[in-house]
Chains A and B, each alone.
Chain A
Amino acid sequence: MSVGASVVLRVDDLATLITRLSELGYEVKGPVVRAGAIVSGALSGVGDLPKGVHDEQGPGEYRIAHGDDDHLFDWAVGPSGWKPEFFPPHDELWRARVGDGHVELVEIPDEPRPLAVVGARPCEAAALGVLDRVFIDGAHRDTRYVERRENAFVAVVECSSPAATCFCDSMSSGPNIEVGFDLALTELDDDDGHRFLARVGSVRALAALEGVAFVLASAVDFSARDAVLEGARRRMVRHLDVDGLAGVLARNLEHPRWAEVAERCLSCGNCTLVCPTCFCSDVRDATDLDGDVVRQRTWSSCFSVDHSYLHGGAVRPTTQSRYRQWMTHKLSSWWDQFDTTGCVGCGRCVAWCPVGIDLTEEAAAIVRFDGVTSVTRPSVRSHL
Chain B
Amino acid sequence: MASATEFSVPRSALTPALYRVVARGRETADVVTLWLESLDGERLSFRSGQFNMLSALGVGEVAVSVSGSPSDPGPLRHTVRDVGAVTHALCSCDVGDVIGVRGPFGTDWGVTGNATPHDTVVVAGGIGLAPLRGAVEELAAAQREGAGRVFVLVGAREPDQMVFLDDLAEWEKAGVVVLITVDRPAPGWSGRVGLVTTLLANAGFDARHCRVLICGPEIMMRFTARALNELGVDLASIWVSLERNMQCGLGWCGHCQLGPLLLCRDGPVVNYLEASALMNERER
Q: List chain A positions with a Cβ less than 8 A from chain B.
A: 93-94, 96, 98-99, 101-107, 109, 134-135, 138-144, 250, 253-254, 279-285, 287, 291, 293, 295, 297, 300, 302, 307-312, 315-318, 320-321, 325, 328-329, 333, 336-337
In the complex, which range does the number of interface residues on chain B fall in?
35 or more
Contact status B247-A310, CB under 8 Å: no
Identify the closest chain B residue to A104 (Cβ): B4
B11 on the A face (CB < 8 A): yes
Contact status B12-A143, CB under 8 Å: yes
Identify the closest chain B residue to A102 (Cβ): B3
B198 on the A face (CB < 8 A): no
Contact status B57-A101, CB under 8 Å: no
| Chain B: minimal CB distance from A35 (Å) | 29
Kindly specify which of B154-162, B164-172, B176-184, B255-263 makes contact with the partner chain: B255-263
For residue B251, which residues in chain A have a CB less than 8 angstroms away from its CB?
134, 138-140, 337
**17 contacts across the A-B interface (CB closer than 8 A):** A98-B57, A99-B1, A105-B7, A109-B8, A139-B250, A143-B10, A250-B259, A282-B253, A283-B247, A287-B58, A293-B58, A308-B244, A321-B282, A333-B257, A336-B259, A337-B260, A337-B262
For residue B58, which residues in chain A have a CB less than 8 angstroms away from its CB?
96, 98, 285, 287, 291, 293
Identify the closest chain A residue to B3 (Cβ): A102
A20–B218 alpha-carbon span in the complex (Å): 60
B18 on the A face (CB < 8 A): yes
| Chain B: minimal CB distance from A106 (Å) | 5
Contact status B260-A333, CB under 8 Å: yes
B15 on the A face (CB < 8 A): yes
| Chain B: minimal CB distance from A328 (Å) | 8
Contact status A281-B83, CB under 8 Å: no
Contact status B98-A315, CB under 8 Å: no
| Chain A: minimal CB distance from B255 (Å) | 6
Q: Contacts A103-B98, A310-B245 given: A283-B257 contact, CB under 8 Å?
A: no
For residue B13, which residues in chain A have a CB less than 8 angstroms away from its CB?
140-143
**CB neighbors of A among B57-100 (8 A):** 57-61, 83-84, 87, 96-98, 100
A295, A307, A325: residue with the most chain B Cβ atoms closer than 10 Å: A295
Q: List chain B positions with a Cβ less than 8 A from chain A.
A: 1-8, 10-16, 18, 55, 57-61, 83-84, 87, 96-98, 100, 243-245, 247-248, 250-255, 257, 259-262, 265, 281-284
In the A-B complex, list the 4 residue pairs whose CB atoms are closest, starting with the nearest: A336-B260, A280-B254, A321-B283, A311-B83
| Chain B: minimal CB distance from A316 (Å) | 5
A101–B15 alpha-carbon span in the complex (Å): 20
A295–B57 alpha-carbon span in the complex (Å): 9
Contact status B247-A102, CB under 8 Å: no
Q: Contacts A138-B250, A308-B255 given: A106-B3 contact, CB under 8 Å?
A: no
A125–B56 alpha-carbon span in the complex (Å): 39
Contact status A281-B248, CB under 8 Å: yes
A302–B284 alpha-carbon span in the complex (Å): 12
A4–B7 alpha-carbon span in the complex (Å): 41
Identify the closest chain B residue to A329 (Cβ): B257
Contact status A316-B283, CB under 8 Å: yes
For residue A281, which residues in chain B have a CB less than 8 angstroms away from its CB?
247-248, 252-254
Q: Contacts A98-B58, A102-B98 given: A144-B12 contact, CB under 8 Å?
A: yes
Identify the closest chain A residue to B53 (Cβ): A283
For residue A317, which residues in chain B have a CB less than 8 angstroms away from its CB?
283
Question: Which residue of B250, B253, B284 contacts A315 across the interface (Cβ within 8 Å)?
Answer: B284
Question: Which residue of B12, B245, B255, B259 contacts A93 across the interface (Cβ within 8 Å)?
Answer: B12
For residue A336, which residues in chain B have a CB less than 8 angstroms away from its CB?
259-261
For residue B98, which residues in chain A have a CB less than 8 angstroms away from its CB?
98, 101-103
Identify the closest chain B residue to A284 (Cβ): B60
For residue B281, which residues in chain A have a CB less than 8 angstroms away from its CB?
253
For residue B252, which residues in chain A have a CB less than 8 angstroms away from its CB?
134-135, 138, 140, 142, 279, 281
Identify the closest chain B residue to A297 (Cβ): B14
